[in-house]
C-alpha cells in the first residue's frame, strides 16, 4: 500500500528564527516606507498571500490591490535568502532529518504542503539540507486556502504514483490547528507536531488524530 505523507514547513520541519518576519519588514520598508511587524497582525499557519494582505491593510489602512500584493510578496522573497542565511536562530527541528530519511527509505512518498510560496519553501528547507526528501509539493497562491493546498498536493502525489491513493493512507503533518483542519477538510489523517506555536494539548483539542511532541517519537503509521 502506498502512503502519501504531506509535511508543513515552519514549526514542523524547521524554525527560521524570525527570518521570514525580517524579510517581510524589509519588503514593506522598501516599498511603502513602513517596517511592518507581521507578528502583530497575523497568526501561525496563514499563507504568504494572506500574511501580506492582512499586514498591508493593518499598516496602510486599506486592502492591497492584486498588483500591490504581488509586489510585496515578490519583494519579500527577494530578501528571504539573506534573512535565512543570516538568522542565528535557524535550526532543523528535533528528529526531522532522521524521520524523513526513515520514511523515505521505507517507500513512502513525501511531499510538502505549506503556506509559503514555492520559492520561499525552497529557501527555508535548503539551509537545512531537507529538500532532498521531497519529490513534489503544493504551495500558497492568492485565493487558495490550506485545504486547497492539500488537495493540490494529493493530486500531484497521485499523479506521480499513477494511481489513486485512499485517503486513509494520506497523512498531513503540521504544527498548527489550521493544519489539522486542512487534513480533516480533505478526509486525511492529521498528525500534530508540538514543535511550533501550539503545544500537544492545543493540537489534541483541535482534533489531531495523533499528536507528537517532536518527530523524534515513533511515527504513527
Reported as a single tens digit per residue, the pLDDT across 23-38 is: 999 999 999 998 888 8
Tell whether the model's pLDDT for residue 45 goes beyond 80.
Answer: no
**Separation between Cα atoms, residue 188 and residue 154, nearest integer Å:** 10
Whether 199 shows a pLDDT value over 80: the answer reads yes
Both 74 and 131 in a single domain?
A: no
Domain boundaries, position 186? 4-16+90-212
pLDDT category of residue 142 using cuts at 50, 70 and 90: low
Indicate the number of domains in the chain: 2
More confidently predicted of 167 and 141 = 167
Q: What is the pLDDT of residue 99?
A: 97
Cell numbers standing for residue 1: 500500500
Residues 69 and 96 placed together within one structural domain of the fold: no
Q: Which of 40, 70, 86 is the last residue of a domain?
A: 86
**How wide is the angle at C-alpha 5 spanned by C-alphas 77 and 179, nearest 5°?**
60
CA angle 208, 217, 124 (to 5 degrees): 80
pLDDT given for residue 143 in this prediction: 63
Are 120 and 173 contained in the same domain? yes
Rounded Cα distance between 213 and 68, Å, is: 39
- Is residue 127 domain-shared with residue 196, that is, in the same domain? yes
**Which 3 state secondary structure label does DSSP give 152?**
helix
- State the Cα–Cα distance between residues 201 and 193, nearest whole angstrom: 11
Final residue in a domain of this structure, among 65, 86, 107? 86
For residue 219, is it within any domain? no
Q: What is the pTM of this model?
A: 0.92
39 and 112 share one domain: no
Q: Looking at the structure, do residues 8 and 69 belong to the same domain, yes or no?
A: no
Cα–Cα distance for residue pair 20/76, rounded to 1 Å: 8
Domain boundary among the residues 58, 86, 114 is at: 86
Amino acid at each position: 500500500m502506498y502512503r502519501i505523507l504531506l509535511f508543513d514547513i515552519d514549526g514542523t520541519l524547521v524554525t527560521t528564527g524570525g527570518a521570514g518576519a525580517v524579510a517581510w519588514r524589509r519588503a514593506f520598508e522598501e516599498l511603502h516606507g513602513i517596517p511592518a511587524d507581521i507578528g502583530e497582525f497575523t497568526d501561525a499557519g496563514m499563507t504568504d498571500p494572506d500574511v501580506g494582505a492582512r499586514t498591508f491593510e493593518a499598516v496602510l489602512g486599506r486592502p492591497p490591490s492584486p498588483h500591490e500584493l504581488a509586489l510585496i510578496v515578490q519583494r519579500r522573497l527577494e530578501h528571504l535568502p539573506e534573512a535565512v542565511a543570516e538568522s542565528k536562530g535557524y535550526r532543523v527541528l528535533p528528529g526531522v532529518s532522521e524521520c524523513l530519511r526513515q520514511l523515505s527509505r521505507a517507500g513512502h512518498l513525501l511531499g510538502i504542503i505549506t503556506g509559503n510560496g514555492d520559492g520561499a519553501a525552497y529557501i527555508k528547507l535548503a539551509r537545512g539540507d531537507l529538500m532532498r526528501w521531497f519529490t513534489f509539493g503544493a504551495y500558497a497562491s492568492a485565493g487558495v486556502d490550506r485545504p486547497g493546498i492539500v488537495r493540490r498536493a494529493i493530486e500531484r502525489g497521485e499523479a506521480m504514483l499513477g494511481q489513486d491513493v485512499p485517503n486513509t493512507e494520506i497523512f498531513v503533518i503540521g504544527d498548527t490547528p489550521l493544519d489539522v483542519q486542512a487534513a480533516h477538510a480533505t478526509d486525511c489523517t492529521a498528525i500534530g507536531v508540538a514543535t511550533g506555536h501550539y503545544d500537544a494539548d492545543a493540537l489534541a483539542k483541535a482534533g489531531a488524530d495523533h499528536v507528537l511532541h517532536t518527530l523524534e517519537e515513533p511515527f504513527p503509521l
